[in-house]
A and B are shown apart, each in its own frame.
Chain A
């Protein structure tokens, strides 16, 4: 019984680490580029598809597949950056609501492209060499698989590197300055647009890593996956407190574990509904999120 619980928690943490990475990217764009990129997960899923295509074309060359995922995610982010910046300029000042509409548009276009142009809209499966869901530990019905261990391990390393970058490097310092006070940062001579571009690039890299981890963990992708995850990422970031990076870390992991436990002990098909009911209760009690907004 105890072992089953541990396996379920590991399961949840590996899923949670993906939520954490997604929320971290979302929050960084919110804080530094000053946009609400609701459809960031769609961009990630698009990169999964690019990775899938490259894997098929190269006879499952893992290195090229991973590279394609990361590069495509960075490219999409950098291509969308001028659009976001244009929308903000046209509105005179930084207008976060207008950016949300643009983000939704990007998300819908991606979902449509995926359902029309790849595999006739059917789920795409990643090769076993990538998703490699061979169980490491098997306990009755529940097993811990290599994909889960990988996503948890890479997730921890990626988050650690991200915080190191944020607190120990020159661009990281500029990110934090803009996050705290964009006008003050401008007065000190931090270029807002260029530093914003760095945040698009960084979340692109992060998105590519997430795409690969999702492929490893799930073994497949569907056109609707991005949208489904996007709701959760937005919910997690609001529950944690918008823009609160540490909060996103905690709540992201909690959501993963919550879903895994509901799946293990109640019902797999109800895990989304139950998770959202609990989040609804939390937001009713703490409207500004568990850890407070940082905007």
Chain B
């Protein structure tokens, strides 16, 4: 579904991503593991079209999307749930969801009902401003907002950051269920253990380079991964 081939990105003279290649097959959950500053967010934002790569190509469903603007990619079925939730705190839950439907207003009431089925709490709080939500609810709102654009690939940037462990479990089980419903998911995580347990395959990113890749089971048992990311 998504192919990232030899992509490099730099901010000024600082290389953020060097010759990174990934394959995200349709119907899978792929996890991107790496420490702070490893280039996870850069990679996801580059796929979305926020950054323009200095080298390499990105294909989404066979079409080249390298350097295509983010709003076009969202229209085409790509979307990103930003790190730290990135919901609009002063706007209502409903307005936040409708922002996700900015390019997809045709089926808005049907999509809204589906999101409310996934996250009943959002229906209860639809007229509250997002500032009043808990961290977990904000993450649900951010995921719900992504669903409003009727995406085929959902990129989720560090969903577990700053959330209580029990809420993290909820979020991962939601991502697993979304995947079973047919959404392809590209996840970035520092919490490698939980992420690898729900993923099909993973990539390890270190200082902007892909250093390791394989099935989730292989990575979970890899001694290097264990030592660096699983705390064991």
Contact = CB atoms under 8 A, between A and B. Distances in A.
B71 A174 contact: no
Nearest to B73: A189
A76 B10 CA distance: 38
Nearest to B44: A187
A54 B45 CA distance: 51
B74 A181 contact: no
Nearest to A172: B95
A116 B194 CA distance: 73
Interface stretch (B16-24, B56-64, B86-94, B196-204): B86-94
Contact of A180 (B50, B88, B98): B88
Nearest to B90: A180
Interface string A143-173: 0000000000000000000000000001001
B86 to A, nearest CB: 5
Among B70, B90, B100, B102, the one with the most A-chain Cβ atoms within 10 Å of its Cβ is B102
Interface string B37-81: 000000001001010000000000000000001110111000110
Contacts of A288: none
Given A174-B102, A176-B88, A184 B75 contact: no
Contacts of B161: none
B99 interface: yes
A187 B88 contact: no
A78 interface: no
Interface centre among B82, B89, B145 (most CB of A within 10 A): B82
Contacts of A184: 82, 86, 88
Given A170-B105, A173-B98, A188 B145 contact: yes
B123 interface: no
A185 B80 CA distance: 11
A173 B95 contact: yes
B149 interface: yes
Given A176-B88, A176-B95, A180-B90, A186 B102 contact: no
Contacts of B50: 186-187
Contacts, number: 57
B103 interface: yes
Contact of B88 (A177, A186, A191, A194): A177
Interface of A is mostly: helix
Contact of A187 (B86, B89, B98): B86
B70 A186 contact: yes
A283 interface: no
Interface string A176-215: 1100110011111111001000000000000000000000
Contacts of B90: 176, 180
Contact of B79 (A173, A185, A189): A189
B86 A177 contact: no
B131 to A, nearest CB: 11
Contacts of B80: 187
Nearest to B82: A187
Contacts of B89: 180
B71 A189 contact: yes
A187 B102 CA distance: 12
Which of B70, B73, B79, B95 gathers most chain A CB within 10 Å? B70
Contacts of A180: 88-91
Contact of B100 (A176, A181, A188): A188
B91 A176 contact: yes
Contact of A174 (B69, B82, B99): B99
Nearest to A191: B71
A188 B91 contact: no
A3 to B, nearest CB: 43
Contacts of B82: 184, 187
What 5 A-B pairs are tightest by C-beta distance, nearest first? A189-B74, A191-B71, A189-B71, A184-B86, A187-B82
12 contacts: A170-B98, A173-B95, A173-B99, A176-B88, A176-B90, A181-B88, A184-B88, A186-B70, A188-B145, A189-B71, A191-B69, A194-B71
Given A180-B90, A190-B71, 19 more contacts: A170-B105, A173-B99, A173-B102, A174-B99, A176-B95, A177-B88, A177-B99, A185-B99, A187-B86, A188-B74, A189-B73, A189-B74, A189-B75, A189-B79, A189-B103, A189-B149, A191-B69, A191-B71, A194-B71
